[in-house]
Amino acid sequence: MNTSDEPSGFAELGLRPELLGALASLGYEEPTPIQRETIPPLLKGRDLVGQAATGTGKTAAFALPILQRIPPRGERAEPIALILVPTRELAVQVSEAIYKYGRDLGARVVPIYGGQPIGRQLQALSQGVHVVVATPGRAMDHIARGTLPLANIQIVVLDEADEMLDMGFAEDIEEILKSTPDSRQTVMFSATLPPRINGIAKRHLRDPLKIQIGLGDTKPGKAPLVRQTAYIVQRSHKPAALGRILDIEAPTAAIIFCRTRTEVDQLTETMNGRGYRAEALHGGLTQESRDRVMGRLRAGTTELLVATDVAARGLDIDQLTHVVNYDVPSAPESYVHRIGRVGRAGREGTAITLAEPREQRLLGNIERLTKQKIAIEKVPTVADLRARQIELTLETLRESLQSDDLENYHGVVDALATEFDLRDVALAAIKLAHAATGAVIDEREIPDASQRMDRDRDKGRPDKGRPDKGRPDKGRPERGAMRDSGRFEGGETARLYVGAGRKDGVRPGDLVGAIANETNLSGREIGPIKVSEHFAIVGVPEGAIDTVIEALKRTTIKGKKATIRRYTE
């Protein structure tokens, strides 16, 4: 309890009573680090460059100083603030936040963005507004029409500035800033500070104050809110590994980031097949479909959102507990944006990354940027999964034992007690409860690629785990070679049909290379191989054929997609 006479929390920042009342009603007690550092200089009119990840409270950091300037009620509302954001979703979210904070002041705010009828925006602007939240393209449209008056603009905020530059809005931003009064205050917030951000700051900001709040900044003695882990997994095992990890983690809601639309669609189908309620989100969806997907996620009827980076820009979802990088982002800045969507408003979150062995260097780049360690963990085993499922069953039973309606089932227990031992009755009930939790029978162990890489490094292999070190072409058979044996050390051999042959330039070495690169098989485990004019037949271990088929369907052979299936006579 604060016993001093000094104001505490937001009050000590010098905000108007109406704003303090609004914050109290919303349950805000203490400013976040970015708010505490930026609000005082912004209230004094300083230009500012703030580096802060999504979820650190930066919307309130610039919104509250803007609302501090709102004129008394009754005066004609003219735009005094312009906030530029990269996406429609972020425009709506920022607009809603400003409306909530400034409700007692009579603040009028309007979001303007593409994809919405411009007539509605024209009407709102003509009736008078204090704050305009806009995407750069639509702001340029209104400036050209003369419907966005800029003469009285006192402050311009560039929110998610690096995202806007990545999306190609650099020229629009330059033109908009040139169109606003030279006397304006200019503020930039960005999760990262690439050179282009510094270039804009030098051209358009006056002696800006630089404030950097790291993603993991927390109070002394407390662990970062976002737990970051990575699993080293061969590409062919990624779908199974992801399912196993999510079964263990049991997220309330998660976003899974993929590189391409095709991968998003395929993984969504895979996760739905595993029993999850998954939805795809990518640029191929209409705005109506996108809104429907987001509505289901916020309503809790969807557990997993599988998305591309572009489609997920600007999303702010309170329910998220997990973010998954299905691939390691090549740009460390993308990683920062992705995982900033969890661990928000004091809640804990988890960021999971599935890295192929060759992507470990990218993990190092991310660690250097974020100055945080990403823990490398082993993919859960079948035993781990079963233990977790038992744990979930125990939680379900404990909840049931604390309910008030157990007396309704006394008759069932009494009837069964005359025929069976009560312990056996309890075991049968637990078995049914265990099945009801959705426990998956999963007997496949997923290879731990991180251990494999360590072994390869110890042996000094330059070829990252490829066998047959002494052979000139790394274990691939010579042109036209065909193995004599139909058996392998691993057991029975299955045969694979590949719809590409000599006319496509395919050689046995190409097939061995494709399979070894995309799966966990070594060169010694692949064969016999027969390449004909139009197709090829390849032997692989029976236990691996489904994995090989799945992996080859996702890749190309000699630059082309080929039909892949099990070969039958």
Q: Say what the pLDDT of residue 433 is.
A: 73
- What contacts 344, CB < 8 A, 6 or more positions away? 54, 55, 318, 320
Residue from 8, 128, 22, 20 nearest 80 by CA: 128
Handedness of CA 430, 435, 436, 442 (dihedral sign): positive
Does residue 272 surpass a pLDDT of 90? Answer: no
**What percent of the chain has a predicted confidence (pLDDT) above 90?**
28
- Cα-trace Rg, the chain: 29
DSSP 86-153: SSHHHHHHHHHHHHHHTGGGT--EEEE-TTS-HHHHHHHHHT--SEEEE-HHHHHHHHHHT-S--TT-
Evaluate whether 9-213 and 473-566 have a shared fold: no
Does residue 6 surpass a pLDDT of 80? Answer: no
Beta-bridge mates of residue 304: 254, 278
265: number of CA atoms within 13 Å, CB side? 8
Does residue 456 surpass a pLDDT of 70? Answer: no
Average pLDDT, integer, range 26-50: 90
Q: Say what the pLDDT of residue 148 is.
A: 93
Does residue 406 surpass a pLDDT of 60? Answer: yes
Average pLDDT, integer, range 19-34: 86
Does residue 338 surpass a pLDDT of 80? Answer: yes
| Token pair of 139 as six digits | 């702001």
Which range in 214-223, 231-240, 308-317 is most confidently predicted, on average pLDDT? 231-240
Count H helices, E strands: the chain?
A: 21, 18
Average pLDDT, integer, range 452-470: 42
Q: Which residue has the higher pLDDT, 413 or 178?
A: 178
- Residues 60, 20: contact at Cβ < 8 Å? no
Q: Say what the pLDDT of residue 41 is.
A: 95
Does residue 567 surpass a pLDDT of 60? Answer: yes
Q: Say what the pLDDT of residue 507 is.
A: 81
Average pLDDT, integer, range 493-497: 87
SS3 (DSSP) at 281: strand
Residues comprising the chain, all counted: 569
3-state helix, strand, coil split of the chain in percent (to 5) is 45, 15, 40
Does residue 49 surpass a pLDDT of 80? Answer: yes
Residue pLDDT, tens place only, 470-491: 333 433 333 333 333 333 334 5
Kindly list the distances between the CA atom of residue 65 and the CA atoms of 43, 156, 157, in Å, as whole numbers in the listed order. Answer: 5, 12, 11
CATH architecture of 473-566: 2-Layer Sandwich (3.30)
In CATH, what class is 9-213? alpha beta
SS3 (DSSP) at 560: strand
Handedness of CA 241, 247, 249, 252 (dihedral sign): positive
Edge-to-edge strands, sheet with 81-84: 109-112, 131-134, 81-84, 155-158, 185-190, 48-52, 209-213
How much is the mean pLDDT over the chain?
80
Residue from 541, 539, 548, 526 nearest 477 by CA: 526
Task: Give the pLDDT band (50/70/90) at residue 329.
Answer: confident
Where along the chain do its domains lie?
9-213, 226-380, 383-436, 473-566
Q: Which residue has the higher pLDDT, 6 or 197?
A: 197
Task: Give the pLDDT band (50/70/90) at residue 451.
Answer: low
Q: Which residue has the higher pLDDT, 363 or 283?
A: 363
Does residue 137 surpass a pLDDT of 60? Answer: yes
Residue from 138, 174, 177, 154 nearest 62 by CA: 154
What's the rounded Cα separation, in Å, for the pair 325 and 328?
A: 6
Average pLDDT, integer, range 350-365: 89
Superfamily of chain region 226-380: P-loop containing nucleotide triphosphate hydrolases (3.40.50.300)
Least confident of 83-87, 261-265, 288-292: 288-292
What's the rounded Cα separation, in Å, for the pair 272 and 286?
A: 21
Q: Say what the pLDDT of residue 483 is.
A: 32
- Residues 332, 365: contact at Cβ < 8 Å? yes
What's the rounded Cα separation, in Å, for the pair 446 and 433?
A: 27
Q: Which residue has the higher pLDDT, 352 or 74?
A: 352
Residue pLDDT, tens place only, 230-245: 999 988 889 989 998 9
Task: Give the pLDDT band (50/70/90) at residue 229.
Answer: very high
Does residue 45 surpass a pLDDT of 50? Answer: yes
Least confident of 341-355, 428-442, 514-528: 428-442
Average pLDDT, integer, range 173-178: 94
Q: Say what the pLDDT of residue 316 is.
A: 65
Q: Say what the pLDDT of residue 100 is.
A: 92
Residue pLDDT, tens place only, 140-169: 999 999 999 999 999 999 998 988 887 788
Q: Say what the pLDDT of residue 204 is.
A: 94
Task: Give the pLDDT band (50/70/90) at residue 562.
Answer: confident
Q: Say what the pLDDT of residue 66 is.
A: 96
Does residue 466 surpass a pLDDT of 60? Answer: no
